[in-house]
Chains A and B, each alone.
Chain A
Amino acid sequence: MSYLRRASPLHAARASVGAAYCAALVFAALELGDPLVLGALALALLGAGAAAGVGGRVARSLYLSVPMAILIVAVNALVSREGLTVLVRLGDAGPLGQLDITLEAIAYGAKEALVLVVIIAACALAGAAVDPDELLRSLRRVSFRSALTATIATRMVPLLALDARRIGEAQRCRPRPAGRLAVMRAITANALDRSLDIAATLEVRGYGSARRPRRARRPWSRHDLAFAAAAAAIVALSIALPAPFSFYPSIHGPLGARTWLLAGGLVLAVLAPFAQRRGILR
């Protein structure tokens, strides 16, 4: 989840705009009901990741989201009772009643799973392409200490992961390895030590007397404007052009012009800001 510095239009945009762009993608995923449009959004998101130079990171988010997606499809297929097209009859499951796997339940589960995949991919894109320091610095004017706590927490994650790996390696070097519980305790104690060290560093950097920072004026770049416009367009399209789609009791989703317009519009809105390549190196 760590930030990757790249020369890309998204990296060149101010952090608050980059975050808004990723948030708009999440909003669209939650708002859209049509699997075709969602699929188009997912592909556009992968394209955005590649255009931002963090395609590998966005694609790797699938390692996390796909198993969860499969679980969602499986669970929905087993618990949903609303579909009409029965594919498999699993018989009587005691107190759960008759278990039937329906096409509609699988399709609805797949759509929900796709929403999850898009949300996790959008978060991966934000993590890799939106500078957390800059974002939190802009939030400090609202709540200085909360923003700083969040900054330090993001810094501590890779540090504690390294510590845990180091302690794990040390335990492998013991002729008589210790139990997992003891190792977990050691890792926790080490994390507390780390926190104390970080707290001491904060003190000597003057955090204890920190004042609310003054606003730093920064002119809006072409990338700030492009991604802000893209975020607004994504939100507007999701709200203004909802493609009609229903899963229950039977699947009904006409592939009309509205659906194609929405899918095409979203892909364009997501990818268009990457066309401008001037001034992308920071």
Chain B
Amino acid sequence: MNALELAGVTYTYPGSAAPALRDVTLEIAQGEFVVLAGGSAAGKSTLLGVASGLVPHFHGGRFDGRAEICGMGLREHGPAALAVEVGTLFQDPETQVVMGTVRAELAFPLENRGHGGVAVARGVEEVALALGIESLLERSTVHLSGGELQRVALGAALAGRPRLLVLDEPTSQLDPVAGDELLGLLARLNEEWGTTIVLAEHRLERCLGAADRVIALARGEVVCDAAPSGFLEWAHGAAPALETPGATLIAGLGLAPAPAGVKQARSTLRAAGLLPDPPQAQAEPEPASRWRRERGRPANLRLRRVWHERSGGPAILAGVSLSVAAGERVVLLGRNGAGKSTLLRHAAGLLEPTRGQVQRSGRVALLLQNPGDYLIHDRVGDELDATELQRAGLGALADRHPRDCSGGERQRLALAIVTAGEEPPAVLCLDEPTRGMDRAAKATLAQELIAHSQRGVAVVVATHDPEFAAAFATRAVLLADGRVLADSSPADLLSGGWYFATETARILGGHRGILTPAQALAQLGAVEASPGARR
């Protein structure tokens, strides 16, 4: 019996003209780890919805074809019945936790099945131990961090020991540390419990190493179904936006096979004699020295020893000094809770420092994490006047409802709203702008930010995405516990770390501060590879 079996599935959401899935036929065997790849609106979430029974039972719409999940027919079984065999994890940890305490949350699915008190208590203990969240059991869910909430939601999805686990971009709201931990956990569940995993993810470089198979979707159709290396070879020619940086690098050097992870890429480079020696250990740059150097320079934004101390709580910012000049593009990195969002709120004047000063040479435009929060009218055309809408390249959407726009379109619209006005902003701040974005949308956003900086705007972006940081930043600042740990060039910062490093930098071990495949090809491409390793 397969974990998931679809035959000729075509599905259209209610009120939609085009189907979200078109004639999808596939089989996923028990114990497989499958990654779903594809751009935004490719049909990944809809396919996961079919696996969990939300499509069509919860969403409605028109469903054709046959689907069987762990031997249960989708037409006869809704999500509640399928929940016995299928665990589901969505993108947003906030809306997946329904109870007040972690223990109650983990007990909820077991209680729904009518298990007795002893069985529920045992199930809760086991899943908590398996996921390493036993210390959270008595905690209130209101006070958990995003990473903790996501682990708790995963625990609730696993509490009933499902045979199939479907996950829709579960790491998109997590920092790299929490995201890697979650993916490691999934790999362990797959290895040790034999749980079938179906995972939709945009940042493929993070999960392909654990996958047995990749199914790529485009416009609701399956366009590739292969092992990770086969998928990457297909993507190199047919869908470059889905190619991982490591695969781009290896293909660009004319080597094979396409690597599913850093280890494989390094071994291919080593065999070709192209893997550089690890760099000598270097002293960390002094955070204060840069500030002293910049003290006399004109700056569009200057924070002087800014503190943000919560009444009766911790200091979120602890004496942060940062100066951003016109045209600079600064990326703020750091794990969840490092103080990045608080720093941006201080820059924009949403918060007042408890100590220290913030100086601005003009208006500060701030785009917060959820662009939907800026969109409050029924028509895109009512959010901005026609000229500004045209300037943002969104004129064609004027009559559409903002909620009907794609994630990327909403992001552009919100960006246009905060930067609109008589005078351009002196500083543009963005908080986690790439959450849930595909690679193409990220590239467009990076170009847009570069264009703003070329007009003299100082750009400051808080992100967990090192690939995006490498694509646009001229300066990188690492925050931890409200303090600036490092303030240097992206090449220094993003090539030297484990978590806050691009895939290319991890492959090359930080060699010469190379961050992107293009930089790597420029520097390594001239070196002769051994003929045996060439394609």
Check A81 for interface membership: any CB of B closer than 8 A. no
Closest to B87 in A: A204
Known: A172-B350, A182-B377, A197-B92. A206 touches B83 (CB 8 A): yes
Check A208 for interface membership: any CB of B closer than 8 A. yes
Q: Across the interface, which residues of A come within 8 angstroms of B78, CB to CB?
A: 203, 208
Contact B376 A186 (CB under 8 A): yes
Which residues of A154-176 have CB atoms within 8 Å of chain B's CB atoms?
154-155, 158-159, 166-167, 169-176
Contact B99 A170 (CB under 8 A): no
Q: Across the interface, which residues of A come within 8 angstroms of B103, CB to CB?
A: 133
Check B373 for interface membership: any CB of A closer than 8 A. yes
Interface centre among A140, A152, A170, A198 (most CB of B within 10 A): A170
A207 to B160, CA, bound (A): 13
Q: How far is the CB of B13 from chain A (nearest CB, A)?
A: 13
A210 to B98, CA, bound (A): 15
Q: How far is the CB of A210 from chain B (nearest CB, A)?
A: 4
Contact A203 B58 (CB under 8 A): yes
A280 to B376, CA, bound (A): 49
Contact bitstring B109-130, A, C-beta under 8 A = 1, else 0: 1011111111011000000000
Contact B52 A206 (CB under 8 A): no
Which residues of B53-74 have CB atoms within 8 Å of chain A's CB atoms?
53-54, 57-58
Q: How far is the CB of A187 from chain B (nearest CB, A)?
A: 9
Q: How far is the CB of A267 from chain B (nearest CB, A)?
A: 29
Contact A216 B116 (CB under 8 A): yes
Closest to B96 in A: A201
Q: How far is the CB of A242 from chain B (nearest CB, A)?
A: 38
Closest to A213 in B: B111
Check A200 for interface membership: any CB of B closer than 8 A. yes
Contact B374 A174 (CB under 8 A): yes
Interface band, chain B: 35 or more
Q: How far is the CB of B456 from chain A (nearest CB, A)?
A: 18
Q: Across the interface, which residues of A come within 8 angstroms of B348, CB to CB?
A: 173
Contact B113 A211 (CB under 8 A): yes
Check B440 for interface membership: any CB of A closer than 8 A. no
Check B90 for interface membership: any CB of A closer than 8 A. yes
Known: A133-B101, A173-B348. A166 touches B363 (CB 8 A): no
Contact A5 B90 (CB under 8 A): no
Known: A203-B58, A214-B114. A155 touches B99 (CB 8 A): yes
Contact A182 B376 (CB under 8 A): yes
Q: Across the interface, which residues of A come within 8 angstroms of B79, CB to CB?
A: 203-204, 208
Q: Across the interface, which residues of B come within 8 angstroms of A204, CB to CB?
A: 52-54, 79, 83, 86-88, 157
A210 to B80, CA, bound (A): 8
Check B519 for interface membership: any CB of A closer than 8 A. no
Known: A137-B104, A175-B421. A210 touches B92 (CB 8 A): no
Specify the main secondary structure of chain A where it touches its partner. Answer: helix
Q: How far is the CB of B73 from chain A (nearest CB, A)?
A: 16
Check A248 for interface membership: any CB of B closer than 8 A. no
Q: Across the interface, which residues of A come within 8 angstroms of B454, CB to CB?
A: none
Contact A211 B90 (CB under 8 A): no
Q: Across the interface, which residues of B come within 8 angstroms of A194, CB to CB?
A: 95
Contact B376 A205 (CB under 8 A): no
Contact A175 B420 (CB under 8 A): yes
Q: How far is the CB of A186 from chain B (nearest CB, A)?
A: 4
Contact B98 A213 (CB under 8 A): no
Partner of B80 from A137, A155, A209, A282 at Cβ < 8 Å: A209
Contact B114 A212 (CB under 8 A): yes
A212 to B80, CA, bound (A): 15
Contact B98 A201 (CB under 8 A): yes
Known: A154-B100, A155-B98, A158-B142. A206 touches B84 (CB 8 A): yes
Known: A185-B376, A197-B90. A206 touches B367 (CB 8 A): no
Contact B80 A206 (CB under 8 A): yes
Check B481 for interface membership: any CB of A closer than 8 A. no
Known: A3-B140, A200-B58. A166 touches B368 (CB 8 A): yes
Partner of A175 from B53, B120, B377, B418 at Cβ < 8 Å: B418
Report the number of A-B residue pairs with Cβ-Cβ less than 8 Å. Answer: 169
Check A16 for interface membership: any CB of B closer than 8 A. no
Contact B112 A207 (CB under 8 A): yes
Contact A151 B99 (CB under 8 A): yes
How many residues does chain A have at the interface if contact means C-beta atoms less than 8 Å apart? 57
A169 to B344, CA, bound (A): 12
Which residues of B371-389 have CB atoms within 8 Å of chain A's CB atoms?
372-377
Check A34 for interface membership: any CB of B closer than 8 A. no
A146 to B44, CA, bound (A): 35
Q: Across the interface, which residues of B come within 8 angstroms of A198, CB to CB?
A: 95, 98
Contact bitstring A112-141, B, C-beta under 8 A = 1, else 0: 000000000000000000011110010010
Q: How far is the CB of A204 from chain B (nearest CB, A)?
A: 4
Check A183 for interface membership: any CB of B closer than 8 A. yes
Check A2 for interface membership: any CB of B closer than 8 A. yes
Q: Across the interface, which residues of A come within 8 angstroms of B420, CB to CB?
A: 175-176
Contact B140 A173 (CB under 8 A): no
Known: A174-B418, A205-B156. A211 touches B92 (CB 8 A): no
Check A215 for interface membership: any CB of B closer than 8 A. yes
A205 to B112, CA, bound (A): 8
Q: How far is the CB of B513 from chain A (nearest CB, A)?
A: 35
Q: How far is the CB of A10 from chain B (nearest CB, A)?
A: 15
Q: Across the interface, which residues of B come within 8 angstroms of A166, CB to CB?
A: 368, 370, 373
Closest to B141 in A: A155
Partner of B98 from A190, A205, A215 at Cβ < 8 Å: A205
Partner of B368 from A159, A170, A200 at Cβ < 8 Å: A170
Check B238 for interface membership: any CB of A closer than 8 A. no
A167 to B368, CA, bound (A): 10
A226 to B80, CA, bound (A): 41
Check A217 for interface membership: any CB of B closer than 8 A. yes
Closest to A281 in B: B138
Closest to A152 in B: B98
A194 to B92, CA, bound (A): 11
Contact bitstring B26-70, A, C-beta under 8 A = 1, else 0: 000000000000000000000000001110011000000000000
A45 to B3, CA, bound (A): 57
Check B139 for interface membership: any CB of A closer than 8 A. yes
Q: How far is the CB of B190 from chain A (nearest CB, A)?
A: 20
Contact bitstring B479-521, A, C-beta under 8 A = 1, else 0: 0000000000000000000000000000000000000000000
Contact A201 B95 (CB under 8 A): yes
A137 to B78, CA, bound (A): 25
Known: A204-B86, A206-B112. A173 touches B54 (CB 8 A): no
Q: Across the interface, which residues of A come within 8 angstroms of B58, CB to CB?
A: 199-200, 203
Check B366 for interface membership: any CB of A closer than 8 A. yes
Interface centre among B83, B116, B421 (most CB of A within 10 A): B83
Interface centre among B54, B99, B366 (most CB of A within 10 A): B99
Closest to A195 in B: B95
Check A240 for interface membership: any CB of B closer than 8 A. no
List 13 additional A-B contacts (Cβ < 8 Å) besides A2-B100, A204-B83: A131-B100, A133-B100, A159-B95, A171-B373, A171-B376, A172-B350, A173-B350, A173-B367, A197-B92, A204-B54, A205-B83, A210-B114, A214-B115
Q: List 6 A-B contacts (CB under 8 A).
A: A3-B100, A133-B100, A173-B350, A174-B417, A209-B81, A213-B120
